[in-house]
Every structure is written in C-alpha cells, then in structure tokens.
A and B are shown apart, each in its own frame.
Chain A
Amino acid sequence: GQNIDQPTEMTATEGAIVQINCTYQTSGFNGLFWYQQHAGEAPTFLSYNVLDGLEEKGRFSSFLSRSKGYSYLLLKELQMKDSASYLCAVMDSNYQLIWGAGTKLIIKP
C-alpha cells in the first residue's frame, strides 16, 4: 500500500530551528509537496521537490532523498505565526496526491 509518515506533533521555541520529517512509500513518484495549514484555513503551498537535494526559500527549506523515500521541512528563526499544521504530500505515478496526516507544530515563547 501507499503511505506517508510524519510526526503527529512537535514543539519548538521561538527563534529556534525545527525539522519536520516525512517518509513515504508510494507507487511511483512525481514530486513531494509541503503545505502549511493554519486552523480553519486552506493549506498554503510551501515547496515542491522532485529532484534530490535541498531547496531553500527564505526561512523555509525542503530536502528530498528519493532513494530513501525521505523528505524534511526545515524552519529557521521560528516565529509564533509558524504555529500550524505542516502537511507532506507525494504525487504518485497516476498524478494523485497521497497525503500525510500532518504535523502540528507548536511554537513556545
């Protein structure tokens, strides 16, 4: 079967760095997405990785290793507004999205 695993919840301190991991097993691979979702809002697109390596975009970076079926989202200089759920999703060979359950990130002052 297909599955995406990510931690249910993480806690970090304002100003610190946090890494949210995502491992996947899917039928084919056409890219991995990270989304941020605040409570009651639609998910917003953060990153898309289809090749191995690190993609940096401001305070957020996303890493992909296709051979390991592994990705992480790195958030630097954490701010209180970064408290949200972070969703990992993989597009499979049929171009369908397989979703992780999301990681709830709690930022403490």
Chain B
Amino acid sequence: GAVVSQHPSWVICKSGTSVKIECRSLDFQATTMFWYRQFPKQSLMLMATSNEGSKATYEQGVEKDKFLINHASLTLSTLTVTSAHPEDSSFYICSARVLSGGAIMGETQYFGPGTRLLVL
C-alpha cells in the first residue's frame, strides 16, 4: 500500500528557533499533500493544503509566514515552523492524496506517522 513518511519523528527545540518537518510519499506520486496539527484526543486540524509547484493554501487562522510550506516535488512537502514558541508544541501530521492513472483514487488520503514538536 501507499506509504507516507515524516522526518523527524520527534523534535525538541528552544523557543525562537525554526524547525523543518519533511513529508514524503515513498512509493507513489502525490500532487496534493495536507498538513494537520493535532492536540491530544482531538480531531486533526487542517492547517494547509500543499500542491506541487504552487503556493500552499492555508486555512483561516493559520499564519502563512509562521508555517512555511514548500511542495518542491511530487514526493516531498516540507513544513517549517519559524521562530517556534511553546504554544506551537503539538503533533504535526501530513497526508498525501494519491494520483493514479491521471485520476485521484477515490479521494483517498494516506497519513504519515506524525512529528511530535516540543518547544521549550
């Protein structure tokens, strides 16, 4: 099946530093990747939709200058949390939408394992 990986799995950083999280589709091409954040036992909150070769679309309330998204290829999207603060500590999850034969396969999303960010 389709596999999505994220790197790193865990990040602990000091307040004010920037953190980059990578999301890769390992065995398929994904024209669209999604970035979510999740607080414990809560629903995934969509932060932005990332399309290959174009600017990401951010959800209302998500600061685009703080959460920089780059979707440089069909298999890689990156989320950079700039000048991270303790309130940015969360579980960040990406997902990729499968493109097959020129058609989106039933809108199926494959989720990454998540990146746990702790800002001290």
Contact = CB atoms under 8 A, between A and B. Distances in A.
A94 interface: yes
A73 interface: no
Q: Which of A37, A44, A94, A96 has the most CB of B within 10 A?
A: A96
Interface residues of A, number: 21
A99 B43 contact: no
A95 B116 contact: yes
A25 B116 CA distance: 22
A42 B97 CA distance: 13
Given A94-B9, A97-B93, A97-B114, A40 B107 contact: yes
A101 to B, nearest CB: 6
Interface residues of B, number: 22
Interface in B74-101: 93
A53 to B, nearest CB: 17
Contacts of B107: 39-40
Interface string B97-120: 000000000111111011010000
Interface of A: 35, 37, 39-40, 42-45, 48, 85, 87, 89, 94-99, 101-102, 104
Interface of B: 1-2, 9-10, 34, 36, 41-46, 93, 106-111, 113-114, 116
